[in-house]
Amino acid sequence: VTSSEPRKIICMSREDFTQKMTEIVGWGTKEEYGELFDKVDVAQDGFINWDKLTSFILLELYERDERAKATVVPQWKDLEFLPVKHKDTIQKVIFLKNSSHYLTISKEGLLAIWGEHLKLQETFPITSDATKLKHLWVTSLVSLENVNKIAVAFTSKEICFYDLLSKEEFACQYKLQGLKGTPICMDYWYDPLDANESILSFGDITGKVQAIAFTAALISLFERPASACEDGEATMTINWAELLSGCHKCCHILEHKLHQGDWVRQVTYNASLDAIISSTTSNTNSVVLAWREKSKKHLNMTSFNIAQGIHAFDYHSRLNLIATAGINNKVCLWNPYVVSKPVGVLWGHSASVIAVQFFVERKQLFSFSKDKVLRLWDIQHQLSIQRIACSFPKSQDFRCLFHFDEAHGRLFISFNNQLALLAMKSEASKRVKSHEKAVTCVLYNSILKQVMMLSFLSLS
């Protein structure tokens, strides 16, 4: 039966609420229901209604669920070493969502393509003309998912863009040349609500952080000059000076030099902060946040000075925390708006921390140290909840790449040209479910002391 009359909001005082609840529910004391009333009535109005009560209960259940998630310790399968064909240091591991493939690339320019279940499918030498000289190599790789391309940085001071949809496998579509410093780290972001808007950021060995902000990425990353060859497969060469001068209207450049000559080890653009975050191993300007102004074409900088510097960082947007992997064995947690001191310090490593990455959904943090100790931290309580002991390679001198693919529960750790995989075991749901479909009604029978629940498809 429906009524056109507006629903009356029934308000109850503290006395009425405690009296009614003890009578209707049949258990619990008036004191306990009084405490519940006080928690719901945060504004101290002296009364509550059904909406306030249900909102409070839903929030409590959500927070309890979040706390439970944060304390769940993942179980891992045995460590596995993937059958790589790389002969030199592995520089990057990425997952291509569009094709469900993994890519790995090594210093000598060998690109390996892996299936979703990590079966090696093929390898492909990916080098520029200049890198055929022995003393030049690949430094980084990023996926430009919105335009089905990858970008590869080389010590020849160039970045090449390869089209994944080209008839010719990994055809080089654009070659960006004339950079003043060698790019050694890169990051790519695009706006999921407007894939034309994207940012490719990179850091170099001179301490410079630079970014190309694309505004028409789905149409073209760069403007093709009138004199360019009409052949769609031909490589288009772009000079960095052209981009700086504003010749290409579909993109503009952002840059800063606050790292002052120190190698930029990591760089990322974060949309929730609208800032480019970068780091070095220096104890001055260890982490720099370059905030975009309203015009989007200028940057304002703030920085953290961290004793002995850091190896890496990660940012959790919902927690609004930056985690840093300290050379001084400490993992620090920072509020991006407070540069004076960290809001938390995680103690437990006996050697320099070389990698950190958030387990975003669970609000946990991985850290990995130079002595090959892997830890998982509960961020809320700032406690180590797992120390993962594995038979990692015994070599002391190694370059490590650390990548956690959260969507697939896979943790990749490279040791020079070896690639180790730690895969999470499937977790059975710990929550008991009485119905397959949503529960629509619940009734309590005080005589039989039973609960009757009704869903879309069944009754129990």
Q: What is the pLDDT of residue 437?
A: 62
3-state DSSP assignment of residue 69: helix
pLDDT at 1 exceeding the cut of 50: no
pLDDT at 165 exceeding the cut of 50: yes
pLDDT digits (tens, 9 = 90+) for 24-74: 888 888 898 999 999 998 888 898 988 888 888 888 887 777 666 656 789
Q: What is the pLDDT of residue 458?
A: 46
Q: Tell me the pLDDT band of 299, cut-offs 50, 70 and 90.
A: very high
Q: How many CA atoms lie within 13 A of 171 on its CB side?
A: 12
Q: What are the angstrom distances between the C-alpha of 55 and each of 44, 48, 211? A: 16, 11, 44
pLDDT digits (tens, 9 = 90+) for 199-224: 999 999 999 999 999 999 999 999 88
pLDDT digits (tens, 9 = 90+) for 414-453: 999 999 999 999 875 444 454 556 677 777 766 655 566 6
Please write down the HEC assignment for all residues of 158-227.
Answer: EEEEEECCCCCCCEEEEEEECCCCCEEEEEEEEECCEEEEEEEEEEECCCCEEEEEECCCCCCCCCCCCC
| Long-range pairs, 27-33, Cβ under 8 A, ≥24 | none
Q: What is the pLDDT of residue 459?
A: 47
Higher-confidence residue of 48 and 459: namely: 48
Average pLDDT, the chain: 89
Q: Name the nearest CA neighbour of 351 among 332, 376, 377, 325.
A: 325
The phi, psi pair for 12, rounded to 5°, reads -130, 140
Does the predicted model carry a pTM greater than 0.75? yes
Cβ atoms of 385 and 73 closer than 8 Å: yes
Segment 129-146 shows an average pLDDT of: 80
pLDDT at 134 exceeding the cut of 80: no
Domains of the chain: 11-71+435-455 (1.10.238), 80-327 (2.130.10.10)
